[in-house]
């Protein structure tokens, strides 16, 4: 876990390869919003750092200071285990978003 890079960097969770590969290779990161799908995170209002630890091999849910399971964990794990189901649901939701569009003045260039 650590901070991203740049002026507006926020806390993020580093992702490492699976245990059978010794968890040594960084393979990406997840934002707090990603992790909230699995765990109920309490965040420091200043740093956005989690005030609890994500369960791992040494710390399990129920241990002091370990984050509890999030309400959407079952849905997130179902989506993760069935890509076709996720793609179908995402496509329908994205299609609705595109159909609804946006009103005049709702979009602006970021500088």
Total domain count, the chain: 2
Percent of the chain scoring above 70 in pLDDT? 77
Res 64 pLDDT > 70: yes
Same domain, 78 and 50: no
Q: What is the pLDDT of residue 95?
A: 92
Same domain, 49 and 79: no
Average pLDDT over the chain, rounded to an integer: 79
Please give the residue that has the higher pLDDT: either 26 or 109. Answer: 109
Res 21 pLDDT > 60: no
Query: Residue 64 belongs to what domain range?
Result: 2-69
List of residues 6+ apart from 15 with CB closer than 8 A: 26, 27, 28, 29, 30
Q: What is the pLDDT of residue 23?
A: 59
pLDDT digits (tens, 9 = 90+) for 69-109: 889 999 988 988 899 999 999 999 999 988 888 788 887 77
Same domain, 10 and 63: yes
Q: Region 24-50: what's the mean pLDDT? A: 80
Same domain, 14 and 53: yes
Q: Region 30-47: what's the mean pLDDT? A: 83
> Distances from the Cα of 7 to the Cαs of 3, 10, 104, 108, in angstroms?
11, 9, 31, 22
Q: What is the pLDDT of residue 17?
A: 61
For residue 108, tell me if it sits in a domain. no
Same domain, 10 and 26: yes
Q: What is the pLDDT of residue 68?
A: 87
For residue 23, tell me if it sits in a domain. yes
Residue 70 falls in which region: left (phi positive, over 0), alpha (psi -120 to 50) or beta: beta
pTM: 0.58
Same domain, 35 and 85: no
For residue 110, tell me if it sits in a domain. no
């Amino acid at each position: 876990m650590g901070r991203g890079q740049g002026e507006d960097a926020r806390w993020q969770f580093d992702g490492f390869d699976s245990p059978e590969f010794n968890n040594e290779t960084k393979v990406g990161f997840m934002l707090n919003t990603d992790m909230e799908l699995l765990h109920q995170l309490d965040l420091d209002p200043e740093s956005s750092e989690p005030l609890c630890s994500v369960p791992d091999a040494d710390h399990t849910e129920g241990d002091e200071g370990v984050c509890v399971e999030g309400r959407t964990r079952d849905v997130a794990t179902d989506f993760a285990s069935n890509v076709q189901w996720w793609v179908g649901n995402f496509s329908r939701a994205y299609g609705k978003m595109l159909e609804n569009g946006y009103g005049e003045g709702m979009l602006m260039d970021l500088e």
